[in-house]
Structure 1
Amino acid sequence: MAPLSDTAAKLFGPEIASFRRALRARNLSDNTIRIYTDAAERFANWLAHWPGNDDADLAQSWEEVTRHHIQGWMTSLLETNKASYANNQYRSIQQYWNWWAEAEDLPNPMQKLKPPTVPEQPVDVLRKEQLGALLKSCQGREFINRRDLAIIYIFMDSGVRRAELVGLTVDDVDLDMREIRVLGKGRRHRVVTIGRRAAVAIDRYLRERARQKWADRPELWLAEKNRGVLTKWGVREMLERRGKAVGIDGLHPHMLRHSWAHYNKQNLSEEELMRLAGWRSRVMVDRYGASLAEERAREAGKRRPLGDEL
């Protein structure tokens, strides 16, 4: 979070509080509300401590903010952050201004502005040999090995997001049907599938989980050493540790999601892929697994070359 400075709280705080209440009334997730309001607070702090040379450009209220201020904030973000971060901040503050313009019945200063361009940087896709090494690194009867093996299998078989995996409860898993009910973006539920080996790994984890101090908790994933439930940061740290052990530097959940998309693009239709991944836009189908798109195209071209048919 970006707590408001005293000056920013005085000048811009009341509207941000109203914005937060409006988001809650829309029944948005706590994470979405946090992202949107955090951007508004960061922008308010920047406005309150104007870095420009001309004091005449200082905004003393939201009504005085112009596209010039928003462009200035974007420029300052791009000077010290990645373009993807500035782009995310742009889209988040855009939500504030959409609300503000409607609530105040005033022009939206972000109209006709465009977000910072993000250079395409395809996420690495793991080779099957690397995925196999990850699974092998989790062999063993210890609680932590059985938990990590189950988690990696779910990432590989279903392509769920990290937040979706962390949010799972014991009741969300149906091992007989090999299905898992996840809560995705926009609080939309969907059912994803897993393989037989994943079901066996989860079953073994659940038996070991039943012996833990926190076994009566509804959350599916428990932390090691009786430290309660596993957090999203715990999942990230686990993957980094497991990846490093087998020579995969910087392993993160998104890499496993991209790998799932890459390998399933060959077996599923676009509609099936979108439903299982929780996507609403077909743009995401092209974005995921893009780093190996040329390889897939070459393999497809080899299936029925024209010369072989003549």
Structure 2
Amino acid sequence: MFKNFCDDVVMSMLPHLNSFQLNTLKSTLEILCSKHMTEANKLDDNNSENEGKIVLSKFIQAKKLEGCSSKTLTYYENTITKMLSTLEKPPKHIDTSDLRQYLNEYQEKNNASRVSVDNIRRILSSFFSWLEDEDYIIKSPVRRIHKVKSAKVVKEVFSDEQVEILKDNCNSLRDKAIVELLCSSGMRVGELVNLNRNDINLVERECVVLGKGNKERVVYFDARAKLAIEGYLQTRTDDNPALFTHAHNNDQRLQIGGVEKMLRRMGALLNINKVHPHKFRRTLATSAIDKGMPIEQVQHLLGHQKIDTTLHYAMVKQHNVKHAHRKFIS
């Protein structure tokens, strides 16, 4: 556009200027046009960046209002910010081909798994669907990008023998109470470390935990966990409201990292593979479903919003499939 403008000016001045003057005019116009074009491009880039930041901020506010945790919000914000900075376009100008190319390049550059790429796709889908709902865009460009298929991996659970070995080899009454509570309640490790003493009802063998999205629910534990918790609390002389405290300082609440470190150390000493808090939760879900507990009740027990999430935790034992086949089909 600017080149055509320069040529038109030079042509219109042909009758009035000599060759030297025309060349000088042309050179000057080209320099000035190039300068203005660069400034215009910078302005567009700045507007694009600011526009992306504004709508992303509003999206994060909406998700915060919906009850998403700070960790989830940070993950959303970082993922979307990286996409916007890579594409260098305002959200309303991003189309399906842009996102397909972005996801492909992300996978290649980072050697990312299909599961990781699909997680990014889901976050982008949530973002652009929100933009569509807010009438910022006409149609989400992620609609035509389907779920990334990945191989289903059967994740490990503890065997009955491994559970008993872990319970019998705890180094302290605190560790014993933690293992017993994880085994019988199926709570998340984040829920466990946030428990206070007054959250525990030892008579009813239940406690109130604050789950994802700041949703409270009641979880239950067995008699062995009750006795372990009572034994541990009898050793406490501090007034810290936290149910579990640091091993060497009762003034400090136990953190997630402390639980994970303790369990890893136990696993290494007992030669048990992959001992971590979430494995207890998966083991409980698998065992409950395998023994006939209705999936809806397992869903409520684990605090899952969608039943599909609960099914991911369940691994039906093969010998029970064989028994059921003989009972109902053979």
Normalising TM by the smaller chain, what interval? 0.7 to 0.9
Q: Deviations over 1:250-291 (max 9, x none)?
A: 22222211111122120422232222122343434433232x
Residue of structure 1 aligned with 2:266, choices 233, 242, 246: 242
Query: Structure 1: which 4+ aligned runs deviate by more than 4 Å?
Result: 6-11, 299-302, 304-307
Q: How does 1:134-283 map to 2 (within 5 A)?
A: 134-139=166-171, 145-208=172-235, 210-211=236-237, 215-216=239-240, 218-226=241-249, 228-265=252-289, 266-283=291-308
Q: Deviations over 1:98-145 (max 9, x none)?
A: 222233431211112213222101110111111111112205xxxxx2
* Aligned partner letter, 1:150: A
Change (3 A) 1:283 1:219: same
Q: Does structure 2 conserve the Cα–Cα contact (< 8 Å) formed by 1:162 and 1:253? A: yes
Residue of structure 1 aligned with 2:159, choices 119, 122, 127: 127
User: Mean alpha-carbon deviation: is it higher for 225-234 or for 197-206?
Assistant: 225-234
Q: Does structure 2 conserve the Cα–Cα contact (< 8 Å) formed by 1:135 and 1:149? A: yes
Q: Which runs of 5+ in 2 are unaligned?
A: 1-44
Q: Does structure 2 conserve the Cα–Cα contact (< 8 Å) formed by 1:161 and 1:257? A: yes
Q: Does structure 2 conserve the Cα–Cα contact (< 8 Å) formed by 1:240 and 1:249? A: no
Please give the alpha-carbon distance, in whole angstroms, between the structure 2 residues aligned to 1:38 and 1:23: 14
Residue of structure 2 aligned with 1:116, choices 121, 144, 148: 148
Deviation at 1:245, TM superposition (A): 1.6
Change (3 A) 1:272 1:89: same
Count matched residues.
280
Please give the alpha-carbon distance, in whole angstroms, between the structure 2 residues aligned to 1:41 and 1:231: 30
Q: Could you say what secondary structure the match of 1:130 adopts?
A: helix
Rg larger in 1 or in 2?
A: 2
Identity over the aligned pairs, expressed in percent?
24
Please give the alpha-carbon distance, in whole angstroms, between the structure 1 residues aligned to 2:328 and 2:129: 52
Which residue does the alignment assign to 1:50? none
Change (3 A) 1:21 1:282: closer
Q: Could you say what secondary structure the match of 1:180 adopts?
A: strand
Root mean square deviation, CA, Å:
2.7
Q: Does structure 1 conserve the Cα–Cα contact (< 8 Å) formed by 2:68 and 2:212? A: no
Deviation at 1:17, TM superposition (A): 1.9
Could you tell me the TM-score, scaled by structure 2's length? 0.75
Change (3 A) 1:148 1:94: farther
Please give the alpha-carbon distance, in whole angstroms, between the structure 1 residues aligned to 2:124 and 2:243: 34
Deviation at 1:11, TM superposition (A): 6.2
Q: Deviations over 1:168-196 (max 9, x none)?
A: 22221111110011222333222111111
Change (3 A) 1:26 1:280: closer
Which residue does the alignment assign to 1:3? none
Q: Which runs of 5+ in 1 are unaligned?
A: 1-5, 48-58, 140-144
Please give the alpha-carbon distance, in whole angstroms, between the structure 2 residues aligned to 1:271 and 1:11: 43
Please give the alpha-carbon distance, in whole angstroms, between the structure 1 residues aligned to 2:329 and 2:62: 59
Q: Could you say what secondary structure the match of 2:265 adopts?
A: helix
Please give the alpha-carbon distance, in whole angstroms, between the structure 1 residues aligned to 2:147 and 2:63: 22
Which residue does the alignment assign to 1:40? 80
Please give the alpha-carbon distance, in whole angstroms, between the structure 2 residues aligned to 1:264 and 1:192: 14
Residue of structure 2 aligned with 1:67, choices 91, 96, 100: 96
Deviation at 1:62, TM superposition (A): 1.6
Q: Does structure 1 conserve the Cα–Cα contact (< 8 Å) formed by 2:209 and 2:217? A: yes
Could you tell me the TM-score, scaled by structure 1's length? 0.80
